Amino acid sequence: MTNPHNVAPRRATITDVAREAGTGKTSISRYLNGELSVLSPELRARIEAAIERLDYQPNQMARGLKRGRNRLIGMLVADLTNPYSVEVLQGVEAACQALGYMPLICHAANEVEMERRYLQLLTTYRVEGVIVNALGVREETLRPVGEGGIPAVLVDRMVDGLVADMVGLDNTAAVELATHHLLERGFDDIWFVVQPFERVSSRRLREAAFRAAIGGQARARGHTVVLELGDAAALEQTLAELDHAVDAAFEVSPGVTLHLAAGAAPDVTPGVSVDLAHGTRSDANPSLRADTAQAAAGAGTRRVALFAANAPVALCLARHLNARHGARWQERIALLSVDDPEWAEFAGITTIRQPTYQIGYRAVEFLHERIDGVESAARDCLLPGELIVRASTSR
Amino acid sequence: MTNPHNVAPRRATITDVAREAGTGKTSISRYLNGELSVLSPELRARIEAAIERLDYQPNQMARGLKRGRNRLIGMLVADLTNPYSVEVLQGVEAACQALGYMPLICHAANEVEMERRYLQLLTTYRVEGVIVNALGVREETLRPVGEGGIPAVLVDRMVDGLVADMVGLDNTAAVELATHHLLERGFDDIWFVVQPFERVSSRRLREAAFRAAIGGQARARGHTVVLELGDAAALEQTLAELDHAVDAAFEVSPGVTLHLAAGAAPDVTPGVSVDLAHGTRSDANPSLRADTAQAAAGAGTRRVALFAANAPVALCLARHLNARHGARWQERIALLSVDDPEWAEFAGITTIRQPTYQIGYRAVEFLHERIDGVESAARDCLLPGELIVRASTSR
DNA sequence: CTGTTAGCGCTTTCAA
DNA sequence: TTGAAAGCGCTAACAG
């Protein structure tokens, strides 16, 4: 043991090295910063030896303090439980490595208050920029970020009141791709399932794109269902409604379709369906019923498909369907999802795979430019998704 | 816009605040550090106002530099893709929050070289301690960590040459629990599937515990199979061998059992099985065959179960079984796994759930004590796992 | 109660 | 080529 007395072996400082090498701090600093050409080979050798002997490692904090930049960037992640986030993170890490940054990863665990705290913390550590994938932050929270503050780039979603570069999936194109796939395969009664929008722009965009994509199709019907994953009671109820809809499609005779009881809801809230085909919003809570008066234009049984807006929703649905219909539910019920988690293949669900790695990489590149002083207007980088067809929609 | 000329709006410093409040830096510092009792209400008010006006936020780097401690701790994670790691992380975050630390999360993406780099980086940022969940680090790598260096605590696994506190699952008890469960349910031909041991102690421990648990049972047979997830070719071959074994068990008539061709392998390497019942190690590559000469003591068909050493292995097996036997493979093949990923319920596999949150929380507590100067010998904290029985072993 | 002073470990003029 | 000295933003004696 090199430290027999348990004396805290204070790390060597630049002063120690200078003394050990019999020179001044300046030369050590020069050596550290690669200004080797100005050092005599002899001195350089002594410095090298001293550093080695003392196991010296420069203190980044001090360097940062002096230089005014510390090569730290913050990465605020709303939910590391979501494989999407981890994948994006890999891209971020790779880019940081390439560009010489150290990412400080902050995990807000889906809590807005956490996001606020972390953003604040990152700020006090004087990170040079932040990559934000947040649930939703209030105006006040992001005062230090964005224009006038430290550079920021948004991932996957906009944040109200924050003008900044953004990179993410081309939601509109992706959802169109998916919807057309479903229509092509003959599904004409599509239920789009999404978490409460809150401040997450991508959820809104996807839902809007779905609505638009299906709106033009005369025969098809689209519905939006909001699933509140965090609330067990609400969840159960909403799932029951979906079950009802799915079952009805199987039971109903040709020429008959479903719709929801009419009624005007002020906004889309959990458990509420929006019946796109008729442009009306209906509260589904009371009950769902088959209605022969609303027969579809074409004849034949409606073919139902579930369209999950992201992986967490898809997981919830898959679990539920599995419990309700057994292991072969895929053969009976079509499920498609944006996001392609690792269990998707095995569950046999069709997905839109996001270019997660590139999203993360690109985010850092954007940030790097801003840190370097680029002043252009906020830019968006929308990357395309890829459709992966699996058993669940192959009928 | 507050910054019309795009002048970098240099953040206010303590000096600025002092000037603004018409006082000295010391008072500001005192205010910042909560020494409110020594400040006259009047001065205090002026300071508050100045801070507010300047939107001042103390620079943590500078504080850290001065105080010699920065409340930063490093968390080195081998693989964020593994849900286990993310769960542990949540515990770490919660504890950090409670104890006033800021965790710097480093993701090594299963690359030893990355682990080395990050450990080095953390060191230069002068973190006060590190929590290490690494694949395997060479001696040289961890010189700055452990005794004589910054305090460290290991999660889930020991690291050769690093004497430090450790917290993780009680592998022996957990594997015993699982094995007994399988035996109770009548499975008597159990295949333990594990990734290459490398330097990961928990893998070794689990395998050893399995071996021990099954060794005492006269009727049961245990085998160890090493699955190399990263190597597609090796993977395929090993899976084929497992298939063969599983199939054979179904085809074989009562009183007949399987064993592997005899032969001595120097160590357990991918694709190699260890036949526990006979204490011999056999290279399974050539072929697997039924051998009536080695009939089991009891009569009746062997009931096969697969025992995955962790979630990544379980996922690989589940995917494979799903592809090979269809969606209802659980009814045919028993699969049990250490780790309880979110898809486990839905896949219907029995698992040992680890107390991940506590593991993370405890790790930080250990570290905190070390940082506070506790000098006792290295401690181990082994937490119990919980058996979750699902369809796959319920026959 | 309040301010002055001397650094923390490092970089960077500016002279030598 | 080299080094002395002046800070970066902050805290902690030590005086008033």
pLDDT tens for each residue of A74-112: 999 999 999 999 999 999 999 999 999 999 999 999 888
Q: What is the mean pLDDT of chain A?
A: 83
* d(CA A318, nearest CA chain B) in Å: 7
Residue ranges matching CATH 1.10.260.40 in chain B: 14-58
pLDDT in tens, chain B (395 residues): 333 344 456 789 999 999 999 999 999 999 999 998 889 999 999 999 999 999 999 999 999 999 988 999 999 999 999 999 999 999 999 999 999 999 999 999 988 888 888 998 899 999 999 999 988 766 666 666 777 688 999 999 887 777 899 999 999 999 999 999 999 999 989 999 999 988 889 999 999 999 999 988 888 999 999 999 989 999 999 999 999 888 876 654 343 333 332 232 333 444 444 444 433 333 333 333 333 223 333 345 778 999 999 999 999 999 999 888 887 788 888 999 999 998 898 888 999 999 999 999 999 999 999 998 888 899 999 999 999 999 889 87
Class of domain B171-253+299-354+386-393: alpha beta
Residue A251 has pLDDT above 70, yes or no: no
Helices (H), chain A: 14-21, 25-32, 41-54, 60-67, 83-99, 112-124, 171-184, 201-215, 232-251, 311-325, 343-347, 356-371
pLDDT of residue B47: 94
Q: Counting one residue from A and one from B, how many pairs have CB atoms under 8 Å apart? A: 127
Nucleic strand C under 7 Å from the C-beta of A185: no
pLDDT of residue B9: 65
Task: Name the B residues in 329-358 with CB < 8 Å from any A CB.
Answer: 329-331, 342-343, 345-348
Give tens-digit pLDDT for A186-222: 998 999 999 998 888 999 999 999 999 998 888 899 9
Token digits of residue A263: 């009624």
What residue spans in chain A does CATH classification 3.40.50.2300 cover?
Answer: 70-168+357-383, 171-253+299-354+386-393
Burial level of A382, CB count in 10 A (0-12/13-18/19+)?
middle
pLDDT confidence tier of residue A282, bands split at 50, 70 and 90: very low
**Which of B343, B368, B354 minimizes the C-alpha distance to B85?**
B354
Task: Work out the pLDDT band at A295, boundaries 50, 70, 90.
Answer: very low
Cβ-defined contact of A126 to B102 (cutoff 8 Å): no
Which DSSP string do the residues of A188-222 spell out, in sequence order?
A: -EEEEEE---TT-HHHHHHHHHHHHHHHT-SS-EE
- Higher pLDDT: A10 or A225? It is A225
Q: Does the distance separating the beta carbons of B125 and A102 come in below 8 Å?
A: yes
Region class of A52: left (phi > 0), else alpha (psi between -120 and 50), else beta: alpha
B395 reaches A (C-beta below 8 A): no
> Can you give the pLDDT at residue B346?
82
B27 nearest nt, CA–C1': C2
Q: Which of B154, B202, B233 is nearest to B311 (CA)?
A: B202
Given 3.30.1540.10, 3.30.2130.10, 3.30.70.260, 3.40.50.2300, which CATH number is that of B70-168+357-383?
Answer: 3.40.50.2300
Is pLDDT at A54 greater than 80 in this prediction? yes
The correct answer on CATH 1.10.260.40 for the domain covering B14-58 is yes
CA/C1' separation B41–D6 (Å): 36
Shortest alpha-carbon distance between residue A334 and chain B (Å)? 15
Contact between B332 and B395 under an 8 Å Cβ cutoff? The reply is no
pLDDT at res. B4: 38
pLDDT at res. A9: 65
Residues 6+ apart with CB under 8 A from B221: B188, B189, B190, B214, B257, B275, B276, B277, B296, B302
* Element holding B209 (H helix, E strand): helix B201-215
The pLDDT value recorded for residue B141 is: 67
| The pair of three-digit structure tokens given for residue A103, joined into one six-digit string | 């990412």
pLDDT in tens, A336-363: 999 999 889 888 899 999 999 999 999 9
**pLDDT surpasses 60 at A263:** no
* pTM exceeds 0.75, yes or no: yes
Q: φ, ψ for residue B292 (rounded to 5)?
A: -70, -20
- Summarize pLDDT for A21-35 with one digit per residue, the tens: 999 999 999 999 999
Residues of B in contact with A148 (CB under 8 A): 1-3, 9
Given this model, what pLDDT does residue A271 score?
A: 47
Q: What is the mean pLDDT of residues A261-266?
A: 30
pLDDT value of residue B351: 98
| Per-residue model confidence as pLDDT tens digits over A154-186 | 999 887 777 889 999 999 999 999 999 999 999
